[in-house]
Structure 1
Amino acid sequence: MKVYVQFKSYLESKGYWEVFIYLFFGGLATVVNFVSYAIVQQLFHLSMPVSNTISWICSVLFAFVTNKIWVFQSKSPSYTHFFIEFAKFVFYRIVSYGLDMGAMILMIKGLDMNDYVAKIITQVLVVLANYIFSKLFIFNKTEIIEEPIETNKKLED
């Protein structure tokens, strides 16, 4: 645990902790994406677009939770804020899904590349795009203002 604290402190002092933790969870989201793609395609023999879509849904749900809680430590002051944040997250993930699907089709159909090699390459592009989207447009720091509780004057009299 001491090594972890020292490592985290060092990265925080250099301003790299957020990037490191994003890449860590981005890597795990990539594993979720890749494994769910392989399972859906090999066990259920579904097409590449369907398998890719299912794997995308799995990784987006995983990524939202990890990004919100551990990477950007975003606090939602209300349910409305939470749902807006989730909607923005899904919107930008749809954008990166288009990048993912377009690159997959280009590499598999256009360049005759193995679909698993193409999947690995596209995931690097997607993780980079998603970090930029999350940092700039989704998990903005929300200042939560707590108003002081006023005491009832009648009770004090």
Structure 2
Amino acid sequence: MEKRNEIVMYLLFGVLTTVINILCYVFLREYLHIKYILSTTIAWLISVVFAFLTNKKYVFKSNFTELNAVIQEFFSFTFFRVVSLGMDLGIMVVLVEIIKIDDFIAKIAANIVVVIMNYIVSKYVVFRTKRVNE
């Protein structure tokens, strides 16, 4: 039951992270008139920080509070989110450009892979209960 709750919480905060990303982008683009690339980057950064905080506290319930441990978790989390962004883009290129799948269908497929990968990496690498150097 606990594993099911963890997955539900992960999906819930994933949806909230997506909403925050979109709202930040719209605010930056439409109200502050920041160019779309910079708006996308800032919105992505804000949503990654939100995802880190909520995943740490509510999803994987990491108890590390020492600054070095939190920094290690944050950089590990961010690193793997950058990797997943690259995976997302790579899958999109392969499916749309090479296999010729509709981009909307490709985006859904890519996001399924990315969400699963992010969950596994967060659970078993970023927020694991014991650190190697402890």
Report the TM-score range of the alignment, normalised by the length of the smaller protein. 0.7 to 0.9
Q: What's the TM-score, normalizing by structure 1? A: 0.64
1:67 matches 2:55 = yes
Number of the residue aligned with 2:45: 57
Residues 20-43 of structure 1 show CA distances to partners (whole Å, capped at 9, x for unaligned) of 111111110111122223333444
Contact 1:76 1:142 in 2 (8 A): no
User: Take 1:53 and 1:131, find their aligned partners in 2: how far apart are those partners?
Assistant: 22
The yes-or-no answer on 1:16 pairing with 2:4 is: yes
Alpha carbons of structure 1 residues 93 and 16: separation in structure 2 relative to 1, 3 Å:
same
Matches within 5 A, 1:96-115: 96-102=84-90, 106=93, 110=97
| Equivalences, count | 126
Q: What percentage of residue pairs aligned between the two structures are identical?
A: 37
Amino acid at match of 1:46: K
CA distance in 2, matches of 1:71, 1:125: 19
Residue 38 of structure 1 pairs with residue 12 of structure 2 = no
Q: CA deviation at 1:103?
A: 5.5
CA RMSD of aligned residues (A): 3.1
Distance 1:141 1:134, change over 3 A: same
Q: Distance in 2 between matches of 1:77 and 1:57?
A: 22
- Indicate conservation of the 8 Å contact 1:30/1:123, yes or no: no
**Bigger Rg, structure 1 or 2:** 1
Deviation at 1:127, TM superposition (A): 2.8
Question: What's the TM-score once normalised by structure 2's chain length?
Answer: 0.73
Structure 2 unmatched ranges of 5 or more: none
Return 5+ residue gaps in structure 1 as ranges: 1-10, 144-157
